[in-house]
Structure 1
Amino acid sequence: MRNAAGPAFLADCPTRLVVEILSDKWTVLVIFALSRQPRRHGELVDLIGGVSRKVLTHTLRRLQQYGLVERRAETPRQIEYSLTALGRTLVEPIEVLTNWARDYGGAIADFQEAAEAATSAQARAAG
């Protein structure tokens, strides 16, 4: 285990590794989907709109490697994924982030739309 002391974003710092893991497009959604109960692969595909089976499999494998998700096979056709004790520690921060997104996501979208409109206007004026 690496030392967590020192500057937070050096290449080999655990803080940076966690930020990289959580910044993956699907990680937070998978953890949130598993936060209430174990799920099968097909259930996760249904719950997480837009994720392909291949990408979900890759994401689940990565989260297993990091000790956040465990895979349990009752039979080869009955495989469930669940959060580990370490993975469950992320549920509360993700819920806080989800609530923030619910409260302020519209404002972020408005700013994005305004920025895109300004960029389009500048492109038309230059062209």
Structure 2
Amino acid sequence: MKRNATAVWKGSVKEGKGTLTTQSTTLNNTQYSFNSRFEDGVGTNPEELVAAAHSGCFSMQLSAFIGEAGFVADSIQTKCDIDFQNGSIVSSHLTVEAKIPGITNETFQELVTKAEKNCPISKLLNTAISSSAMLV
């Protein structure tokens, strides 16, 4: 399976603007710019998209491991904070809240750590990855 996205950039790095379009068209000429990346401009940015990819991938991987352990999650909510410094992503922190009937906190924490290390986006990122998780 292969997936793709396309970026189009026009102009200089600071004054220019770009658009992003994904194969599914969920993003369809979605705006990004220097301002949306480094300031508070309207639009998305690569780090935000990495955060979305990591939180989504992790949540699905955690759900798979929860299922393998014999449980079903009512909900898993994952926030990903990407730390971008000096031109590099230096860390990704996952904050997880989950509602899983019948699971112990010990088992849940073990599965969170397993998912943190094994989701495909975690494997792709060459950075420090951490998480904090709580059952609700």
Query: TM-score scaled to structure 2, two decimals?
Result: 0.24
Higher strand share: 2
| Rg comparison, structure with higher value | 1
Higher helix share: 1
Query: TM-score scaled to structure 1, two decimals?
Result: 0.25
